[in-house]
Amino acid sequence: MSFPRTLGELRQSPLSEKRLQSRRVKDELRDNLIAKLRCGGTVFPGIVGYDDTVVPQIVNAILSRHNFILLGLRGQAKSRILRALTTLLDPQIPYIAGCEIHDNPYSPICRRCREDVAEQGDETPIAYLSPEERYVEKLATPDVTIADLIGDIDPIKAARGGHQLSSDLTVHYGLLPRANRGIFAINELPDLAGKIQVGLFNIMQEGDVQIKGYPIRLPLDVALVFSANPEDYTARGKIITPLKDRIGSEIRTHYPATVEEGIAITVQEAWTQRDGYKLHVPKFVQEVIERIAFAAREDKKVDKRSGVSQRLPISCIENVISNAERRAIRHDEKLVVPRIGDVYAALPAITGKLELEYEGEMKGADHVSRELIRTAIAKTYDGYFNGVNTQQIVQWFDLGGEIQMADTAGAAEALQSLRAIQGLMDKLGKLTVGPKDSPELQVSAAEFVLEGLHAHKRIGRNEERVFTAGEKLPKQAEKPFEREEPPFRGRRPYN
């Protein structure tokens, strides 16, 4: 399909002048959203866990033609949602070729385009914008200037063109004018200096910007969206009150509400498709990894104001798979199956994601992370073995049995040792693992059972990953017999 390449061809195409002049970006977003809702499809593909909470609020904001802000802790898909707004834009829109601010061919706002249309008429060249090209994003930092956002007078352009400095032709446009007829997103809005936030007032209320005090008015057509961490209001800066008043909707994001939602996000985002080896990540390993983040969000030693990003389980599972992959390469195994030992080997992917309180700092990130892993193992173990009698396994260790489960040990060697533990292999059915499954999977399941018993302090394990009998609590020392005085029922004499 060929598209009009000149203004004259455009006038004769279905892209009517009336439609292009009257339909602004927010109207376009609204119309396309309504069409998508009527079809019953997913509004934002790839966004998990927000269908009943965040997405309906965003839909309402777009239907209301609001500028809006997403408030949430780190790792809550705020930037991804903002970028997904491009799916609600038209596949392409025409603009005057070469225009820095993508002028509407029927109603140009910059001086150069107006002169080109007046000079060339129907021969004015036309180009097209894709939805991705209509999205402009800026990370707010304290050094951002008004010139970066709005624009400035360019003396070099004035000198080369022989223009007066007050001429429109000397303007160097900032990011906001360059987002004309599109979406402009500012991430971490509180980090933007207050005096720079003031520069957004005109575009949000009157729909125009002014550059450098000269009488240059640009009635831009932009949908403004923002993201921020609510704790940043006091930590690094704040959104000034007049700007908050001009933001139509304030929408709060959140972390996954369930482990299943967290697993779905992690599986979607993590790099798990490795080359060369077949991979199988057991469900119980996925649950343990996900519950680490859930446990950290509840732990008093972890700073809740900072949050625990969803990037923690994503990075963790990638490291876990890599450790299992390394083991498979060393032992020439054809199947990569992660174990719980690989989760402990992935500590570097956990410690850097935690902001600790004073108590946590005193214990150290490694110690806190190991406690979180142990808590996650215990909760996951309860989901599979709650009410299951594992006394036979515990008794085997109580009678002096011990076994080492190094994360580097091959599956065949480890399986032979695990089979010696009475009653252990019989319990793997609870994990849907049977004797006909691969040795790698059987070893992973058996190690999970042992780690679960250790997490509940029924068996012991040292740093070398040697499982032994649990520590017996010492009997309380008997107190010497003391004669108990009968209660005094009379009146005590005064001294």
Looking at residue 20, its pLDDT comes to: 63
Q: Would you list the domain boundaries of the chain? A: 7-252, 259-469
The pTM for the full model equals 0.86
Residue with tokens 């009653």, as numbered in its chain? 423
Q: Which residue, among 379, 385, 377, has the nearest Cα to 461 in the 3D structure?
A: 377
pLDDT at residue 276 is higher than 80:
no
Looking at residue 10, its pLDDT comes to: 87
Looking at residue 483, its pLDDT comes to: 42
Q: Residue 165 in contact with residue 153, Cβ under 8 Å?
A: yes
Q: Which residue, among 228, 232, 219, 126, has the nearest Cα to 180 in the 3D structure?
A: 219
Residue 477 CB burial class (10 angstroms; 0-12, 13-18, ≥19): exposed
pLDDT at residue 482 is higher than 60:
no
User: pLDDT grade, residue 490 (50/70/90)?
Assistant: very low
pLDDT at residue 440 is higher than 70:
yes
pLDDT at residue 476 is higher than 50:
no
Better-predicted residue by pLDDT, 376 or 104: 376
pLDDT at residue 495 is higher than 60:
no
Q: Residue 103 in contact with residue 95, Cβ under 8 Å?
A: yes
Looking at residue 236, its pLDDT comes to: 56
Looking at residue 494, its pLDDT comes to: 41
Mean pLDDT of 243-257: 94
User: pLDDT grade, residue 201 (50/70/90)?
Assistant: confident
Better-predicted residue by pLDDT, 7 or 20: 7
The highest-confidence range among 217-221, 356-360, 450-454, by mean pLDDT, is: 450-454
pLDDT at residue 162 is higher than 80:
no
Domain boundaries 7-252, CATH class: alpha beta
Q: Residue 37 in contact with residue 45, Cβ under 8 Å?
A: no
Q: d(Cα 231, Cα 133) in Å, to the nearest integer? A: 32
Better-predicted residue by pLDDT, 473 or 91: 91
Residue with tokens 């609590």, as numbered in its chain? 473
